Amino acid sequence: MNKKLIFSIIVAAFLLLNINPTQSSAAYNEKSDWNIRVNLVDQLLKPSGITGNATFELQEKAHELLTNTTGIELDHSYIWIEVNGVKILAVDPIKPTFGKW
């Protein structure tokens, strides 16, 4: 390995080890959410909503990690898939964010 590569690795490791993230959350805009609703005969399917909450929390944690490690806060919203009035899936669509950084 050459000396420049070793120096670059050491500097990168030093910077990563000294990151002190603060607790914050990315800018979730609930007003921009979309809902796709499917109503079936209630006897056919009774979802619990566990997956809807789990997918929402997972994506919110990803936004929190991004904000805490980089300081970049991205506005975001969700597309909610509902079956018989129960949210079963949260999808955070990719949105271009030109000039935000």
Provide, rounded to the nearest whole percent, the portion of the chain with pLDDT above 70: 67
Q: What's the pLDDT at 75?
A: 86
Closest CA to 75 of 32, 21, 24, 22: 32
Unique residue bearing structure tokens 């000039």: 99
pTM: 0.64
Q: 74 and 63 in contact (C-beta within 8 Å)? A: yes
What's the rounded mean pLDDT across residues 53-82? 91
What's the rounded mean pLDDT across residues 37-48? 81
Domain residue ranges in the chain: 3-91
Q: What's the pLDDT at 17?
A: 44
What whole-number distance in Å separates Cα of residue 80 and Cα of residue 88?
A: 8
Rg (CA), the chain: 20
